[in-house]
Homo-oligomer: A and B are copies of this chain.
Amino acid sequence: MNVRKWPRKNDAESIRARQQALGLDGGVTAIDLEPFARAQEMLTGAAVLPVSVVGPLELELGEYELREPDGELAETGRATDSVFVPLAHTEGGLSASLHRGARAVAESGGFRTYVLADRITRASCFVCGSAEEAVTLSRFLDAHVAELRRWLAERVEADPALSKYAKLREVETHVVGPMCHVMWAFTTGDACGPNMMTRNAYALNMGFVMERAPVKPERAILEANMGGDKKPSHRYFERGGHGKTVIAECTLSEEAVRRVLRTSIDDLLELSWAGTHGAVASGMQSVAFTPASAIAAIFAATGQDLGMVGTSSMAHGTGKRVEGGLNCTIRLAGLEVGTVGGGTTLPYARSWLSLMGCAGAGKVYRFAQIVAAATLALEISASAAMATAGSHEFFKAHHERGGLR
């Protein structure tokens, strides 16, 4: 089969042609692909992931809205809820562990979650003839943020190729050499939003900057790696700006630590101390145990972009003895989630989002907080398994349940 001749369309016939050419049959071709016909090109079959449901997570969540015109994120209320969480994965022990963490927290008064920020950034780069010109451009942009916002707001009304949802909020420039990198920070409603912001950033680059800048850049690059897209970076670990910045916390009671987690607060604190220093020693940006396991499992069930597991898992966890027990928190700097658009509209994903009350518009902050709470549940339980002297529990957990490995 020649690479140039591979049929590319997603009509039933093309799909069948590919399946036959590859000799595929059985399970992978048995699932109806029609609902997925617009989700990707050269559709050929299906993959099935088993989904567990664990919980309920007992949470106190914030309610949030973006204030116009600045896009300030305001907390408008708080409410409690019980939520079951779907986990799509094949890692023996993970669901049981997350469930155990949720139990320990439920018995300790539940999770509290906070959304601290909401932005998504496309970092374009204008290559100029010199640093002098790049500095001039950067000063021009710094001085025209209001105009840039207004120009885009008008433009999206007129041009259906642009998105009304991707609203420009802040503009930051970074000059290095003859390059003027420009961080266009957007909000994108309840969508994760990379594509809508890409279109709008392109319009800003070509329609505003390249037309009006006092110096003519040699080149406009839509994204030149300051945007935090799919590769963890310190900028977005510290400041957020690529998704929702969320904190989940709880205060575990001595009783729950002992009875449910089968360890002690002292043991957990020792582990936290050693694990933090181990992270520093190995140049690990995150300080956490296994946030990616929880985040990947929820992402896979709910149609999120799995290429964003690494960036969404940048995490900073803490543990501290407080009155009443052990305060445990996790800070997810940039949880790249949506409840509309992308894979979230597809059949299975939509069902799993619905289970959590997170399908559709107005749900993205809720969803982000549930993901953070579930992540903390797993952190707690996995830490507990590792914390007891000699980590006998951890060993047992993997030994007994991880039979597939």
Instruction: For A135, list chain B residues within 8 Å (CB).
Output: 114, 116, 247
Contact A42 B53 (CB under 8 A): yes
- Within 8 Å by CB of A342, from B27, B90, B210, lies B90
Contact B224 A278 (CB under 8 A): yes
Which of A145-153, A312-320, A358-366 is the contact stretch? A312-320
Instruction: For A374, list chain B residues within 8 Å (CB).
Output: none
Contact B322 A89 (CB under 8 A): no
Confirm or deny: A215 has a beta carbon within 8 angstroms of a beta carbon on chain B.
no
Central interface residue in A44, A88, A352, by most chain B CB within 10 Å: A44
Instruction: For A226, list chain B residues within 8 Å (CB).
Output: 278-279, 281-282
Contact B277 A176 (CB under 8 A): yes
Central interface residue in A82, A132, A177, A288, by most chain B CB within 10 Å: A177
Contact A221 B271 (CB under 8 A): yes
26 contacts between A and B (CB under 8 A): A3-B58, A3-B106, A22-B84, A22-B355, A27-B351, A89-B305, A90-B346, A130-B251, A176-B247, A177-B331, A179-B277, A193-B405, A199-B399, A220-B389, A221-B387, A223-B391, A224-B275, A225-B284, A230-B291, A231-B315, A233-B279, A233-B282, A234-B238, A285-B285, A296-B309, A345-B404
Known A3-B106, A89-B40: A199·B398 in contact at CB below 8 Å: yes
Contact B42 A221 (CB under 8 A): no
Complex Cα spacing A287 to B404, Å: 34
Known A1-B82, A310-B311, A352-B47: A234·B27 in contact at CB below 8 Å: no
Known A1-B82, A28-B352: A112·B132 in contact at CB below 8 Å: yes
Central interface residue in A48, A53, A56, by most chain B CB within 10 Å: A48
Copies, count = 4
Instruction: For A46, list chain B residues within 8 Å (CB).
Output: 48-51, 348
Contact A292 B398 (CB under 8 A): no
Closest residue to A328 on the B side, CB-wise? B177
The smallest C-beta distance from A296 to any residue of chain B, in angstroms, reads: 4
Q: Mark A54-93, 1 if CB is under 8 A from B, else 0.
A: 1111100000000000000000000000101011111111
Interface residues of chain A: helix, strand, loop or mixed (majority): mixed
Central interface residue in A1, A270, A296, A387, by most chain B CB within 10 Å: A296
Contact A177 B277 (CB under 8 A): yes
The smallest C-beta distance from A262 to any residue of chain B, in angstroms, reads: 15
Contact A282 B195 (CB under 8 A): no
Instruction: For A234, list chain B residues within 8 Å (CB).
Output: 234-235, 238, 282-284
Confirm or deny: A156 has a beta carbon within 8 angstroms of a beta carbon on chain B.
no
Known A3-B103, A54-B42, A355-B24: A283·B84 in contact at CB below 8 Å: no
The smallest C-beta distance from A166 to any residue of chain B, in angstroms, reads: 10
Q: Mark A18-53, 1 if CB is under 8 A from B, else 0.
A: 100010101110010100101111111111111111
Contact B49 A44 (CB under 8 A): no
Known A89-B306, A132-B112, A177-B329: A49·B47 in contact at CB below 8 Å: yes
Instruction: For A87, list chain B residues within 8 Å (CB).
Output: 40
Contact A285 B286 (CB under 8 A): no
Instruction: For A307, list chain B residues within 8 Å (CB).
Output: 89, 91, 290, 292-293, 295-297, 309, 313
Contact B129 A323 (CB under 8 A): yes
Complex Cα spacing A99 to B104, Å: 48
The smallest C-beta distance from A233 to any residue of chain B, in angstroms, reads: 4
Contact B95 A40 (CB under 8 A): yes
Contact B222 A395 (CB under 8 A): yes
